[in-house]
Amino acid sequence: MAAAKPEVLALADRDRVAGDSRPIPSRSRIARACAAAVACALLLAAPGRGRGDVRQPILAGSWYPGDAAELRKAVEAYLGPPAAVELPPSALIAPHAGYQFSGATAGKAFASVRGRSYDRVVLLGPSHRLAFSGAALPEHSAWRTPLGETPLDQNALASLAGRRGFQRLPAAHAKEHSLEIELPFLQVALAPGFKLVPIVIGRLDEETLASIGEAVEALLGPRALLVVSSDFTHFGPNYGYTPFRDDIPRRIHDLDNDAIGAIGRLSPTEFDDYLSRTGVTICGAEPIRVLLGMYSGKPVRASTLGYARSGDLMGDFTNSVSYVAMAFATADEAAGGGTIREPAGGSTPGRPRMLSEKEQAFLLDLARRTIGAALRGSDAPPARVPDEFGEDSPLHEQRGVFVTLTDSGDLRGCIGNIVGTEPLVRGVAHQAINAAFHDPRFPALRPDELAEIEVEISVLTPPVPVPGYDAIEVGRHGVLLEKDGRRAVFLPQVAPEQGWDRETMLRHLCRKAGLGSEEWRSGTQFEVFEAQVFEEKHSR
């Protein structure tokens, strides 16, 4: 029995290196989950963790700084100034890896509530160490980090203890990192005085899911905040998930964007279908399902505030974990939200405002300077919008964007995302680095090539579904094709540049997706989008 203890410690040590722990998937790895459960039970049998005790931090000094002043400084840097939001968030999704990996993305989530005052914060996170069904409640009076103690809301916890699906299970909390990692952000971002309701979520059947959602929803209101802790795609042999072996950065991005889209549309059915279809390793899928069950069909606006991958940070996609920051704002008066307004700047659904020549020139220059800084090993230029463009500039908007590099007309790199997951100015800087150094079709750009390449940027409208391929207009529409879980995309300029008609383009798109060249004719879903394309020589 004693041999179980080193196994858990070894897992924890490996997780610090990788930036996150392996999730315990529910059904396919029961044996490993049970072994982890036994090991955790042995580790947690030590005295000093009874009801009323203060939970001590387990991550301080490893996943985040252990010194109070250093920790506060780090969190302040990740948060930045309070984010401008139209409605006060009622819920967030934030990642939970070590701060060096996911801190910047988590900061974008918590910046949206910075300086706000809440009475109660309900914190939902997945179980990485202990396999169980339902929701686990702690037996503590407070939780401590180097920044101090935060009291637990004992009245709220007592109300949950009598509901279906909830149980007092301190073993689920003692070594779980997904909740603790969020607490320093809450302690710095929020006004003092809130109480915490930490809940670890295990496997959920449909009845238990509904019961937990109803119980959590009863705790929320204008003075409460819900935080769902989750990382997104865990790709690579370390996580037992390698559904593809080529074009890895783009395909991980597509996986994550599908999840973000389903969550943003507040569709439990779509999210469940996505999980079933892809088998994707989103460790917080069950807590996210709780959130979607609560908000589906309600007047709620979802916003994506940040996105990052450890593969980009490490320059290696052999193993990669994705991090997403999202905010959810209810639009009724009870949540303090008022009515939902359209974004400033004259954008309309499906056709956002075009970029001016000055905005285009700024983005092209930013892309080139960002690549140049990376080649020199110097600090990247700040990816922020200059004051001269104003708050209503499209540069602030979350827009899909691709950066394309060519050398004497030949493709040298092209990577982007269809759905905007960050402000356009940051998206261009991000995709410029990806196109220069992470397009798996090409070697990384060399310093001597910088003067020869030309930069092209494609800023996209949101993709919309069309009933069939007959609706696709070559030269106007970019196309996203999906069939049997396989997807591929062409930008609007690809077909005209290659001299393709619609059928030829669709044949090539099918081959790009790994399908037979004629499979576009039936059983295929299409989404189309438009693009404003501009390059260093001219724009169009």
The answer to whether residues 416 and 386 touch, using CB atoms and an 8 Å cutoff, is no
- CATH T-level topology, domain 357-461: Glycoprotein, Type 4 Pilin (3.30.700)
CA–CA gap between residue 283 and residue 277 (Å, rounded): 16
Nearest to 241 by CA among 89, 405, 29: 29
Nearest to 527 by CA among 465, 483, 472, 477: 465
CA–CA gap between residue 90 and residue 404 (Å, rounded): 38
For strands 53-55 and 135-137, give the pairing: unpaired
| Number of neighbouring beta carbons within 10 Å of residue 163 | 15
Question: Which residues are 453's β-sheet partners?
Answer: 407
Q: Cα 479–482–483 angle (5° rounding)? A: 145
Question: Cβ contacts of residue 158 below 8 Å, gap of 6+?
Answer: none
The answer to whether residues 347 and 96 touch, using CB atoms and an 8 Å cutoff, is no
CA–CA gap between residue 355 and residue 390 (Å, rounded): 13
Domain 464-532 homologous superfamily, CATH: Hypothetical protein ph0010; domain 2 (3.30.1490.150)
The answer to whether residues 82 and 111 touch, using CB atoms and an 8 Å cutoff, is yes
For strands 224-229 and 91-94, give the pairing: parallel
Nearest to 268 by CA among 300, 304, 226: 300
CATH of 4-79+89-335, one of 1.10.630.10, 3.40.50.620, 3.40.830.10, 3.10.20.30: 3.40.830.10
Nearest to 354 by CA among 531, 493, 527: 531
Nearest to 208 by CA among 308, 100, 287: 287
Helix (H) or strand (E) holding 124: strand 120-126
Identity of the residue numbered 181: I
CA–CA gap between residue 160 and residue 154 (Å, rounded): 10
Question: Buried b vs exposed e over 379-408: b needs ≥16 C-beta within 10 Å?
Answer: eeeebebeeebeeebbbbbbbbbbbbbbee
Identity of the residue numbered 437: F
Query: What pLDDT, on the 0 to 100 scale, is given for residue 11?
Result: 26
* Run means of pLDDT, 10 residues per run, the chain, 540 residues: 26 32 36 32 33 83 94 91 71 95 93 91 94 93 95 94 92 93 96 95 94 94 93 95 92 92 92 94 96 91 89 89 92 34 32 83 96 94 91 89 92 87 90 92 94 94 83 90 86 89 94 92 90 74
Query: What pLDDT, on the 0 to 100 scale, is given for residue 440?
Result: 84
Query: What pLDDT, on the 0 to 100 scale, is given for residue 27?
Result: 35
Structure tokens at 175: 């070594």
Please tell me whether the overall predicted TM-score, pTM, comes out greater than 0.85 for this model. Answer: no
The answer to whether residues 78 and 103 touch, using CB atoms and an 8 Å cutoff, is yes
CA–CA gap between residue 86 and residue 311 (Å, rounded): 32
Query: What pLDDT, on the 0 to 100 scale, is given for residue 337?
Result: 28
Instruction: Please report, for residues 89, 318, 397, 407, 476, the alpha-carbon distance to residue 123 in angstroms, rounded to integers and kept in the order given.
Output: 14, 31, 29, 50, 45
Helix (H) or strand (E) holding 255: helix 248-264
Q: Number of C-alpha atoms within 13 angstroms, CB side, residue 187?
A: 22
Structure tokens at 294: 């609560």
Q: Parse the chain into domains and list their residue ranges.
A: 4-79+89-335, 357-461, 464-532
Question: Cβ contacts of residue 525 below 8 Å, gap of 6+?
Answer: 465, 481, 482, 483
Per DSSP, the residues of 459-510 read EEPPPEEESSGGG--TTT-EEEEEETTEEEEE-TTHHHHHT--HHHHHHHHH
Q: How far apart are the first and last CA of the chain?
A: 69
Whether 357-461 and 464-532 share one fold: the answer is no
DSSP code, position 130: -
Pinpoint the alpha helices (H) of 65-152. 68-79, 99-111
Chain position carrying tokens 């999202």: 326
Structure tokens at 310: 């450890």
